[in-house]
Amino acid sequence: MNIISSEKEWTKVIKPNPNLFDFQLKEVWRYRDLLLLFVKRDFVAVYKQTLLGPAWHFIQPALSTLVSLLLFNVIAGISTNGMNPVLFQMSGIILWNYFATCLLACSTVFTKNASIFGKVYFPRLIMPLSIVLSNLVQFLIQFLLLILAIVFFYFKNHTGFFGIAWLMIPVYLFLMAGTSLGLGIVISSLTTKYRDLAVLLTFGVQLLMFASAVNYPLSALEKKNAFLYSILKWNPLSNIIEGFRQSVLLGSVDFSSLIYPLLFMILSLFGGILFFNRVEKTFMDTV
């Protein structure tokens, strides 16, 4: 009489990751198709069932530029160091929008997707990575608006710049993406237990914008308040935004200014993934 074995051979055994320094990058690469699906989902879901749809990608930076131009350049009279005020504000705003959107979305990615995590296995880092990549599409659309504005002012009064310095744009974008991802992972790991952090972060990002040289050049602050300048110059975001603006509008690149933001990005990414590996073992019990 044949005895049928009740034992099953499993093709995948899921266990807690005992090694904090195992970043599972190979596992993320294996699930790259899922990553692309999440990118498509995030991009489509934002403007689904809206009247204007993707047009909001143009409307939002255009309105923000108009308000910033009125407040900082017309009313406050802050100099832009010879750069066109409209292009100055728009270039800073679209890069800041990318950082702020990624950071805020990553900060709640684990609490908002807890139902998926509890049912299906995939590398959890796929979620924050998809947010960074989907918002990259939004940045490229808004950057197209900046290009159109540069072309307009170039033919109108010969202000604007197109040149080899534009090759540095991916570098500044990579620094901003890595920084937002690293900080976002840290905050998302904490919000699984402390939900108040998500509310506090929304307020904090608004304040951080004014400390990141988005609407004014740091040199203008140096002349008016040397003490405040000595503090804000250590903000890596301000270095990234100023470098991006100068390469796009002036064609000048200060490579030494990239060292500090690069080190900060590496530390934030390393610390974020390390902290996430520690929280990942138990976050489904607290989320």
Task: Summarize the confidence of residues 38-64 as an average pLDDT.
Answer: 74
Rounded to an integer, what distance in angstroms lies between the CA atom of residue 250 and that of residue 35? 36
What pLDDT sits at residue 3? Answer: 47
Sign of CA dihedral 260, 262, 265, 270: negative
Alpha-carbon dihedral angle through residues 263, 183, 39, 45, given to the nearest 10 degrees: -150
Both tokens assigned to 119 = 């049912």
Q: Per-residue pLDDT tens for 225-282?
A: 888 888 888 999 999 999 999 999 888 888 988 999 999 999 998 888 887 777 766 6
What pLDDT sits at residue 1? Answer: 45
Rounded to an integer, what distance in angstroms lies between the CA atom of residue 102 and that of residue 265? 14
What pLDDT sits at residue 220? Answer: 80
Task: Summarize the confidence of residues 35-63 as an average pLDDT.
Answer: 75
pTM: 0.85
CA 127 to chain centre: 14
